[in-house]
């Protein structure tokens, strides 16, 4: 985003220039970007991203041309505005969570893309999209005979490079699903990777946004999810693996990555000497379980076991439970089972 404005006053008495006074905005190459009219002596230019770098504003006041530049450093109280980008750069590169539509990318038209409103910070430079934007150029045709991998990046000219510093553009990089490495001139933030079939006209898009502070969970203040299940009834355990005791479910927020831990505790008893009764908690499906842990005590005794998995939320509940099995030719019994499930948001 670029926002550039000012106030135009007459030299003689400081009064506002007449409404409709022309303000000509030009880019670093001297090309006219637009012509604005003053109102009450004020003018402002605003556009998606900052595709021009340095901008100059020229207005004729009392027969003399006055020029302002967007690159001029300014002091606001104790703060030098030109230095703020270096402080902001310490936050890293990433999309600002929960602002508008977070620069979501969709395929549109012939090998083109649309980027929804949102904001990002790249090399300390704020980049804001107020209305849906498109890359400067669509992807080229693919006649390679195989599927091509491309990516969409937000490319920013680093502060201090030259008169184009802060220039930000949406660019399709062809032939790689990864963003280019930063250079002395450019910093990159990948928003999406795409594939284009041989002869294809439309991209298949995969979301690749990363967020400031490197975690959706932290930026969105996602809470830890937890659930507990209990049962007191005795249940028989045979040599065939089966589910016993309680279940417990946690609902994982869509798109957020979690560490999920299921911890099981049961009182268990073997029916005969040489029999081992074992339990294993599972997460999501019975096949995603811990290795069995057990004992061969002919009398109620505790068994504990735990299972870990990482999961990305879909907005649906993830059910967890306990599996049990007996070995040695005879069965056993489990009772007083407790299942604790904890899902902790983690860095993406």
- Tell me the three state secondary structure of residue 20: coil
pLDDT of residue 251: 93
Would you state the pLDDT for residue 66? 79
Quote the mean pLDDT of the chain.
Answer: 86
Mean pLDDT of 319-333: 89
What is the spatial order of strands in the sheet that 22-27 belongs to? 32-37, 22-27, 55-61, 64-69
Q: What are phi and psi of 111, to 5 degrees?
A: 55, 35
Q: What confidence score (pLDDT) does residue 71 get?
A: 63
283 against 8, higher pLDDT:
283
* pLDDT for position 85: 76
Tell me the C-alpha distance between 334 and 316, whole Å: 30
pTM: 0.52
Q: pLDDT band at 220, cuts 50/70/90?
A: very low
Least confident of 71-75, 114-118, 236-240: 71-75
Q: Using one digit for the tens of pLDDT, what is the confidence trace for 11-58? A: 777 788 888 888 888 887 788 888 988 888 888 887 666 565 677 888
165, 195, 191: which is closest to 179 by C-alpha?
Answer: 191
The pLDDT confidence band at residue 286, using thresholds 50, 70 and 90, is: very high
Sheet strands side by side (includes 276-283): 242-251, 317-327, 276-283, 293-295
What span, in angstroms and rounded, lies between the C-alpha atoms of 333 and 235?
A: 6
Predicted local distance difference test score (pLDDT) of residue 203? 95
- What is the predicted pLDDT for the residue at 3? 67
pLDDT, tens digit, 9 for 90 and up, residues 78-121: 666 667 777 788 788 999 988 899 999 999 989 999 999 999 99
The highest-confidence range among 73-87, 163-177, 191-205, by mean pLDDT, is 191-205
The pLDDT confidence band at residue 1, using thresholds 50, 70 and 90, is: low
Residue 335 pLDDT more than 90?
A: no
The yes-or-no verdict on residue 273 having pLDDT over 90 is: no
Most confident of 220-224, 328-332, 333-337: 333-337
Alpha-carbon distance 141 to 145, whole Å? Answer: 11
Average pLDDT over residues 171-193: 93
- Average confidence (pLDDT) over 258-275: 90
d(CA 283, CA 287): 8
pLDDT recorded at residue 331: 85
Domains and CATH numbers, the chain: 2-69 (2.60.40.10), 91-214 (2.80.20), 225-345 (2.60.120.1120)
3-state helix, strand, coil in the chain (%, to 5): 5, 50, 45
Q: Which pLDDT value is given to residue 39?
A: 86
At 86, is the secondary structure helix, strand, or coil? helix
pLDDT of residue 289: 95
Whether 254 shows a pLDDT value over 90: the answer reads no
Residue 183: CB atoms within 10 Å: 10
CA-nearest of 155, 156, 157 to 171 is: 155
Residues 118 and 129 sit within 8 Å (Cβ to Cβ): yes
Q: Residue 72's pLDDT band (boundaries 50, 70, 90)?
A: low
């Amino acid at each position: 985003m670029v926002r550039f404005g000012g106030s135009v006053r007459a030299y003689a008495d400081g009064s506002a220039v007449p409404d409709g006074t022309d303000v000509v905005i030009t880019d670093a190459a001297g090309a006219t970007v637009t012509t604005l009219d003053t109102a009450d002596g004020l003018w402002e230019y605003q556009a998606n991203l900052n595709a021009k770098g340095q901008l100059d504003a020229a207005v004729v006041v009392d027969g003399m041309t006055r020029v302002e530049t967007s690159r001029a450093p300014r002091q606001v109280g104790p703060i030098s505005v030109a230095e703020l980008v270096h402080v902001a750069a310490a936050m890293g590169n990433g999309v600002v969570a929960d602002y508008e539509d977070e620069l979501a990318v969709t395929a549109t038209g012939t090998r083109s893309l649309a980027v929804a409103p949102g904001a990002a910070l790249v090399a300390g430079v704020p980049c804001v999209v107020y209305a849906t934007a498109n890359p400067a150029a669509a992807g080229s045709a693919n006649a390679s005979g195989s599927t091509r991998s491309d990516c969409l990046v937000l490319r920013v000219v680093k502060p201090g490079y030259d008169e184009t510093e802060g220039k930000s553009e949406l660019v399709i990089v062809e032939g790689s699903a990864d963003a280019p490495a930063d250079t002395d001139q450019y910093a990159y933030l990948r928003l999406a990777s795409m594939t284009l079939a041989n002869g294809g006209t439309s991209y298949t898009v995969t979301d690749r946004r990363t967020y400031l502070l490197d975690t959706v969970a932290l930026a969105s203040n996602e809470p830890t999810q937890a659930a507990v299940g209990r049962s007191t009834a005795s249940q028989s355990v045979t040599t065939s693996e089966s589910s016993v005791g309680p279940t417990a479910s946690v609902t994982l927020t869509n798109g957020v990555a979690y560490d999920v831990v299921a911890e099981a505790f049961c009182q268990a008893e073997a029916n005969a000497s040489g029999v081992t009764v074992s339990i294993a908690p599972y997460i999501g499906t019975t096949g995603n379980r811990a290795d069995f842990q057990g004992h061969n005590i002919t009398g109620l005794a505790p068994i504990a076991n735990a299972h870990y998995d990482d999961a990305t939320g879909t907005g649906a509940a993830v059910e967890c439970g306990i599996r049990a099995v007996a070995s040695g030719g005879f069965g056993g019994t489990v009772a007083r089972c407790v299942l604790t499930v904890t899902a902790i948001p983690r860095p993406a």
